[in-house]
Amino acid sequence: MNDEKIIDLFWKRDETAIKETDKKYGRYCSTVSMSILHNELDAEECVNDAYLSLWNSIPPHRPQVLRTFLGRIVRNISINRHKSTHRQGHNCYMDVSLEELMDELGDCFPSDDDMTNELSGEIKEHLQAFLREQDALNRKLFVGRYWHSYSISRLSASYGLTEGAVEIRLRRTRTKLKKYLNERGISV
Amino acid sequence: MKKTRYQACLLISELDDDMILEAELANVPMRRRVGHVMKRVWLIAACMTLLATATILLFLPAMLREYPAPSPIPPLTSEPAVETPEPVVNWVSDPTLVRVERLSASEAVADPDVTEDGNLVSVESQTQYFANQLILIHFSCREDEHVMVEPSSWRSALNPVYLYTAEGDGHTRSYWRFKNEELDGHISVSEELEYSRYKDYFGRPVTVENGDVLLWQYANLALACMEDNFVDFTVVDDEGNITGGGSIYIGGYDLTSMSKNKKYYGESQYGDFGGSFESFCFTNAIYRPVVLGAYRYTNEGGGDNEIQAQCLKELHALALERRESLFADVSSELLRVSVREALADYAWVIGKTGGWGLSSFGKYQNETKYLIMSFANSLDPADHEYLLFLYEGTYRRITGWEVHLQNEYGGMIIGCLYLEDGTVVQVDLRHADQPVTLLPPAETETA
């Protein structure tokens, strides 16, 4: 079933919308969640939560691209889940990758303690604009690494670069982002 | 305590759809899990092998004593036949996967509002560009699949791709959508179609869902007509497995009309062709959208993507071979002889020299009536075997010329050409209204 029809089902409050969404994007959602949580049970829960959230979001929303709309929800829920399990002292998961990502992002983003809602909104705008200005490859690498949580080796294999080259490009992009934000009054 | 950056991760979640999609790689979540299982399998297999080896080594002396070595094998009189394993072909041809069609100018442009501003290039006659070069590509993938369409080279990437859906609205940065499924006169072209804006998107794959139609627009015909004008596509299911793919050739040529287009890419936008030379575009190219191959993997939903990608390359190689046959029915014998080389050399001549001698003059507007085509393989004036003169649709070989006044590039301003049938073409480019005069063989003697 295509996305338009699925969204229509949501708008009609037809519960088969969830079933169809799961059929079409279930694996995709699991992948997104697993890349953050590395735990199947938690990922499954997050995906289910995401479906509920999707159910509550449509209507009023009518997403242009259901795949990314849903992916975004799953990702946010998974990140929050990761955060809460850490707070509770559950540190038994293979959560190295999100830690790694957060470490890397430390180069260019303020920590949670320093992040206010206002600042967050401001950075969001600047981040979009900054990425638009980057060349396609660097943008893909950045989004691939920090949105999709791809490993350096996977990115290098996919784009025909050495792992070192990927790391250098990512580091340069982060450095540029930091500078970009600094120039706009956001110090990291 | 270590500072966390969950908020940063959440911020990144909010990136625009197109950025997320463009960065998404074919993802195979199961593969990772399968990988873990495979590691264990390999470990067990390795242990078993070690055990077996140890056992054999332990009992080998006793076995050798019990079974003495056989007599030596007599030498073979001829070389033993080497068995070549049959190549594994795991895809099958699927002609229903994709079909292409061409829209003529009259079909495509019903909208009188498609003006100069809406065109990719703000030079005269560009409406015709917009009008003529519309190729629709229909894919018939399953609902759980999508198609990744990629230009096979930067040349074909020069032609922007538009995703054209039933109820699409607006546009994203990875493609633009037209509003109506039928080309019913409501084509709207956003300002973002300016070349300078979309040039950043070269090489970006476009994702097509089932039922969508790709609208392939030719913007740069001079390059598009020459070579490497392939579109590769890969069918990918929701799990990221390649389930099919193929290659399309979209191109063609018709040398009966050319247009000089200085502004378009005469401003060193492209390194390879950089410079202030004048470039040329074919305005009435005859397009030959041909599906060179469309196939599905027989092991749908699984298999090794690397092997499948290799198959895609092989298919593309087959496509390259097939391309030659596309030109078989070209009317001009001379063109048929070496069209590829000729066109490539023509580009080279123009590009490298800024217009070499005879090849650079003429009135390259839509009302073109004559044109010099230099199909020489080098810049050696003696090598003019393929130097043609086109006049009102007829090609004639140029057998010689005289240059009485030349421009800074060595191009002819005043001079004459000698054609194979005895016709003499008098050239005087100072007269824009009548730059060439043909003196037929009969008049030549008296001239």
> pLDDT tens, position by position, for chain A (188 residues)?
788 888 888 888 888 888 888 888 888 888 888 888 888 888 888 888 888 888 888 887 888 888 888 888 888 888 888 887 765 544 433 334 677 888 888 778 888 787 788 888 888 888 889 998 888 888 999 998 888 888 888 888 888 877 777 888 888 888 888 888 888 888 77
- Flag whether residue B306 sits within 8 Å of chain A, measured between CB atoms: no
Output the pLDDT for position B213: 60
**Chain A contact for B37 (CB, 8 A cutoff):** no
- Is the CB of A102 less than 8 angstroms away from the CB of B8? yes
Q: Specify the pLDDT at position B57.
A: 72
CB pairs under 8 A between A and B: 134
* CA-CA-CA-CA torsion sign (B17, B18, B22, B26): positive
Name the A residues in 24-83 with CB < 8 Å from any B CB: 24-25, 27-28, 30-31, 34, 64-65, 67-69, 71-72, 75-76, 79-80, 82-83
> Of chain B residues 128-157, which have a CB less than 8 A from chain A?
143-144
Whether A85 contacts chain B with CB within 8 A: no
Select the residue of A123, A124, A144 nearest B23 (Cβ to Cβ): A144
pLDDT of residue B375: 38
Q: What is the pLDDT of residue A172?
A: 84
Q: Which residues of A touch B36 (CB under 8 A)?
A: none
Distance from CA of A72 to the nearest CA of B (A): 6
Q: Do A115 and B27 touch (CB under 8 A)?
A: no
A144 interface with B at CB cutoff 8 Å: yes
Chain A residues in contact with B6 by the CB 8 A cut-off are: 79-80, 82-83, 102, 112
- Give residue B338's pLDDT: 28
The pLDDT value given to residue B120: 28
Test A146 with B12 for CB contact under 8 angstroms: yes
Does B3 contact A at CB distance below 8 Å? Answer: yes
Touching A: B residues 213-272, CB under 8 Å:
238-239
Find the closest chain B residue to A122 by CA distance. Answer: B11
> Average pLDDT by consecutive 10-residue portion of chain B (447 residues)?
73 85 65 49 72 72 55 47 50 80 46 31 32 64 78 47 39 28 29 32 54 54 44 78 78 40 30 30 48 72 62 67 49 30 30 29 34 41 49 65 64 73 80 72 57
Q: B13 in contact with A at a CB cutoff of 8 Å? A: yes
Which of B15, B169, B192 is best to mutate for the A interface (most A CBs within 10 A)?
A: B15
Q: Which residues of B touch A87 (CB under 8 A)?
A: none
**pLDDT of res. B228:** 46
Which residues 161-180 of A have a C-beta within 8 angstroms of B? Answer: none
Assessment of whether the complete model's pTM goes beyond 0.80: no
| B170:A64 CB<8 A | yes
Give the up-direction half-sphere exposure of residue A31: CA atoms within 13 A in the CB hemisphere. 24
